[in-house]
């Protein structure tokens, strides 16, 4: 998928063949070396890539680079059908391997228990060959591809361990003084494939929100063609077409109602179960459900331009991104696999060389650990330790630590009407000290309303005519009030002139009239103390009356401010309005600090001043005149207006417009980041504890493989608790 923005290309695509963090690092490193590539993020959990490049870079260039590493770039991200197909294939490989694993393991336990089975080594050899070249061939294919491109990955470690185990069987049969570990090859392959299947099941479950969004895409639409209603594929509908939707049906595409009305379930946008009443002239969104009613609407957006498509794209991008803390893990995994090989060789070699000196230690271990054979011999013990170190050190959990948490976190956010656009925002949200809140459109509704006037009908007719040419929000409030009261403009007003920041004037019968800023503001101190804006009307220079306008505070603003404070964050109002109006709104909502009468560009400077003091700053705005401030802040949160996802300056978009969702966004971000840290901690602790145990000869290779799989599953399950 390719999205061009300004002079940049943004690509979201699939990457096939990755199995661990080392694979991810190799792909990312190769892409970062390309000229013109600005940003690269490869996600192991979703098998997706996200790349930002200069406009001259194409997907073919990216594909060639990825293919050269041994992995394969796909133009489209994995869809539901492919994921389900992979599940079935993984399940079949697991079933075949377990069918080999169970009888071989039972025979091995009998053999180790003292029941000598002379034909057991040939059985180990044959079963191992079937496991390696049958269900396990994908592991060895991955290891071969990595070796051919001079790097190593998780498949390399497992394949080497399984192959080394299997080779001991024919060596033993040929008469060499070495124990046969051929059954371990079957066990390693089987346990590894079982773990892969469980991982894929859990990853599929964790990414359920994306599939839920995709399921909202209607496949067909009922279009009116020459007066007839015809069912057509939704992808074939063009802008300007007229569609009909009946009660209980899903709205196919974005558009504007031209006829009818109904109650629509818009929970996919807002995250709230409320049903919204939509009438002629109002927007509808593809993917929402008309629960009752009947509407005709004209299509305004199709294909990748629809709200649902853009929402899916943003969630996929977020799930494909990474967080700064992951860089530490990536640097370690970059040298991890080669280091494990060296450590395995040194450990195995040391046991062979110093076997006689370590033999008493082995005898002591054998009294407590039934899988320790103190009399196996130097070579057998060395091979045993070599295999155990290779298997136990697989960095699967490290590679899954970040992507699985991001999948769960961004999915939960989308379900609640929040779009967290990148992984870095998840990390940054946990550090926020201060949040600046824009007033108009953020704390207040952004739609001024007339609350009082002492003017008569004739005067309001003149004012309506004056304001008819203005697009100022105050003018809109006056026009809406006049329309509601049935007052029509007086067409006799001429020479209308608007003065920015002052008001608007005109002439009627040779006399000047004006409406705008009061000449003596202190006269209206009572109204202003309530946060109202006073517009004064003057005829022939004399004051004739006034109109009082207020921008009502949103119903959830008080709760939102309280929620922000509960998180230990200081809310500050940042507005271009007067200090009196701002103070009145602050008093209602509980905001204690106000910065008022600032222009849009000055908001940016105020944010920077706090950043200079070492504070981590968030900014919440409507994404229009707050764009510079949103970009300057450490965390930009934009309140989207319904289906507006074009707010590029923000890190987090609240599609419902709920101010209370600000604290929800921060909570989800903090929780996700905390889970990432937990995942990385346990992944590292696992390796720190288990690798020395394997080097010391304490771990059976099969136990090491099970422990490695459990570590990865623990990371996935811990990530999935975010959704609860």
> pTM score, two decimals?
0.64
Q: Cα separation of 419 and 654, whole Å?
A: 6
Q: Which CATH class is domain 449-550?
A: alpha beta
Instruction: Please state, in angstroms and as integers, the Cα–Cα distance from residue 263 to each residue in 221, 249, 445, following that order.
Output: 19, 12, 22
Contacts of 190 (CB under 8 A, 6+ apart): 94, 97, 98, 100, 101, 131
Closest CA to 142 of 162, 157, 130, 164: 157
- Per-position b or e across 653-687, b if 16+ CB within 10 A of its CB: bbbbbbbbbbbbbbebbbbbbebbbbbbebbbebb
DSSP H helices in 296-445: 307-319, 326-353, 355-366, 378-392, 396-415, 423-429
438 catalytic? Reply is: yes
Residue bearing tokens 């991104």: 321
| Digit-coded pLDDT (tens) for 147-178 | 877 777 777 777 888 888 888 889 888 888 77
State yes or no: pLDDT of 635 exceeds 80: yes
Closest CA to 453 of 522, 538, 514, 534: 534
Per the CB < 8 A criterion, the answer to whether 646 and 634 are in contact is: no
Report the 3 state secondary structure along 461-494: HHHHHHHCCCCCHHHHHHHHHHHHCCCCCCCCCE
Of residues 602 and 129, more confidently modeled: 129
pLDDT at 562: 94
pLDDT at 320: 56
Superfamily of domain 418-444+554-662: HAD superfamily/HAD-like (3.40.50.1000)
Instruction: Please state, in angstroms and as integers, the Cα–Cα distance from residue 187 to each residue in 136, 160, 218, 680, following that order.
Output: 11, 14, 46, 27
Q: Cα separation of 385 and 343, whole Å?
A: 10
Confidence of residue 466 (pLDDT cuts 50, 70, 90): confident
Per the CB < 8 A criterion, the answer to whether 74 and 25 are in contact is: no
Of residues 452 and 41, more confidently modeled: 452
Contacts of 26 (CB under 8 A, 6+ apart): 69, 71, 149, 151, 153
Angle at 40 between CA 608 and CA 331, to 5 degrees: 90
State yes or no: pLDDT of 82 exceeds 70: no
CATH of domain 217-301: 2.70.150.10
pLDDT at 647: 58
pLDDT at 427: 78
Helical (H) or strand (E) element with 241: none
| Digit-coded pLDDT (tens) for 416-430 | 778 787 777 877 887
pLDDT mean across residues, the chain: 82
**138 burial via Cβ count (<10 Å: 0-12, 13-18, 19+):** middle
pLDDT at 299: 93
pLDDT at 470: 78
Helical (H) or strand (E) element with 230: strand 228-233
**In the beta sheet, which residues pair with residue 43?**
48
Angle at 106 between CA 104 and CA 112, to 5 degrees: 100
Q: Cα separation of 623 and 637, whole Å?
A: 8
Segment 392-401 mean pLDDT: 68
Q: What is the second-level CATH architecture of the domain 2-78?
A: 2-Layer Sandwich (3.30)
> Which residue among the candidates 438, 577, 634, 664 is catalytic per the annotation?
438
| Digit-coded pLDDT (tens) for 241-288 | 999 999 889 999 999 999 999 999 887 665 555 678 899 988 898 888
Helical (H) or strand (E) element with 209: helix 208-215
| Digit-coded pLDDT (tens) for 571-619 | 999 887 778 778 888 989 999 999 988 876 788 888 888 988 889 999 9
Helical (H) or strand (E) element with 261: strand 254-265
Q: Cα separation of 294 and 247, whole Å?
A: 6
Contacts of 147 (CB under 8 A, 6+ apart): 156
Closest CA to 254 of 213, 218, 327, 306: 306
Per the CB < 8 A criterion, the answer to whether 324 and 673 are in contact is: no
Of residues 13 and 310, more confidently modeled: 13
State yes or no: pLDDT of 643 exceeds 50: no
| Digit-coded pLDDT (tens) for 332-357 | 666 777 788 888 899 999 999 999 99
């Amino acid at each position: 998928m390719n999205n061009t923005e300004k002079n940049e290309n943004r690509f979201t695509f699939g990457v096939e063949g990755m199995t661990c963090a080392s694979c991810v690092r190799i792909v990312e490193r190769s892409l970062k070396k390309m000229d013109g590539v600005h940003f690269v993020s490869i996600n192991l959990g979703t098998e997706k890539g996200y790349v930002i490049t200069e406009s001259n870079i194409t997907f073919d260039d990216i594909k060639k680079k990825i293919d050269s590493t041994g992995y394969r770039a796909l133009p489209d991200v994995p869809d539901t059908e492919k994921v389900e197909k992979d599940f079935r294939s993984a399940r079949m490989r697991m079933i075949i391997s377990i069918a080999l694993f169970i009888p071989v393991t039972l025979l091995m336990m009998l053999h180790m228990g003292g029941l000598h089975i002379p034909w057991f080594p040939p059985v180990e050899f044959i079963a191992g060959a079937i496991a390696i070249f049958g269900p396990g061939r994908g592991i060895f294919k991955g290891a071969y591809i990595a070796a051919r491109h001079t790097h190593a990955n998780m498949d390399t470690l497992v394949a080497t361990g399984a192959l080394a185990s299997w080779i001991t069987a024919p060596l033993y049969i040929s008469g060499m003084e070495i124990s046969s570990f051929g059954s371990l090859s079957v066990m390693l392959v089987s346990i590894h494939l079982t773990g892969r299947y469980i991982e894929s099941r859990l990853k599929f479950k964790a990414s359920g929100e994306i599939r839920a969004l995709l399921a909202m895409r209607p496949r067909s639409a009922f279009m009116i063609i020459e007066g007839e209603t015809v069912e057509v594929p939704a992808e074939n509908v063009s802008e300007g077409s007229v569609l009909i939707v009946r009660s209980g049906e899903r709205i196919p595409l974005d558009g504007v109602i031209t006829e009818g009305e109904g109650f629509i379930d818009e929970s996919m946008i807002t995250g709230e179960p409320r049903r919204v009443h939509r009438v002629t002239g109002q927007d509808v969104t593809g993917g929402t459900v008309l629960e009752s009613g009947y509407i005709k609407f004209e299509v305004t957006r199709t294909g990748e331009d629809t709200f649902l498509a853009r929402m899916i794209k943003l969630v996929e991008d977020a799930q494909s991104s990474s967080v700064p803390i992951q860089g530490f893990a990536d640097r370690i995994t970059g040298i991890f696999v080669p280091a494990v090989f060296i450590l395995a060789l040194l450990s195995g070699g040391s046991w062979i060389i110093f076997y006689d000196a370590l033999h008493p230690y082995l005898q002591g271990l054998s009294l407590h650990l039934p899988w320790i054979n103190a009399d196996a011999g130097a070579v057998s013990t060395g091979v045993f330790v070599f295999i155990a170190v290779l298997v136990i050190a697989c960095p699967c959990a490290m590679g899954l630590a970040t992507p699985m948490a991001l999948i769960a976190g961004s999915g939960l956010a989308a379900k609640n009407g929040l779009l967290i656009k990148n992984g870095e925002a998840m990390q940054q949200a946990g550090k926020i000290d201060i949040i600046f809140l824009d007033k108009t459109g953020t704390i207040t509704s952004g739609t001024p309303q007339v609350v009082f006037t002492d003017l008569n009908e004739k005067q309001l007719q003149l004012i309506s005519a004056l304001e008819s040419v203005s697009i100022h929000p105050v003018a809109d409030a006056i026009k809406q009030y006049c329309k509601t009261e049935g007052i029509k403009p007086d067409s006799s007003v001429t020479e209308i002139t608007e003065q920015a920041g002052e008001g608007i004037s005109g002439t009627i019968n040779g006399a000047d009239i004006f409406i705008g800023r009061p000449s003596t503001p202190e006269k209206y101190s009572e109204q202003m103390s309530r946060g109202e804006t006073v517009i004064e009307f003057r005829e022939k220079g004399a004051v004739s009356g006034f109109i009082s306008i207020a921008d009502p505070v949103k119903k959830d603003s008080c709760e939102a401010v309280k929620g922000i404070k509960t998180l230990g964050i200081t809310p500050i109002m940042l507005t271009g309005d007067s200090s009196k109006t701002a103070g009145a709104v602050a008093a209602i909502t509980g905001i204690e600090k106000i910065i008022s009468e600032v222009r849009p560009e000055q908001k940016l400077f105020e944010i920077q001043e706090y950043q200079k003091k070492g504070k981590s700053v968030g900014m919440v705005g409507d994404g229009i005149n707050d764009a510079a401030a949103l970009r300057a802040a450490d965390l930009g949160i934009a309140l989207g207006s319904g289906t507006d996802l074009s707010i590029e300056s923000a890190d987090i978009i609240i599609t419902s417009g709920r101010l209370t969702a600000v604290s929800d966004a921060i909570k989800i971000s903090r929780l996700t980041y905390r889970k990432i840290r937990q995942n990385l901690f346990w992944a590292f602790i696992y390796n720190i504890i288990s690798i020395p145990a394997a080097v010391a000869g304490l771990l059976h290779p099969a136990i090491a493989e099970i422990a490695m799989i459990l570590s990865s599953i623990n990371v996935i399950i811990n990530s999935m608790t975010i959704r609860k």
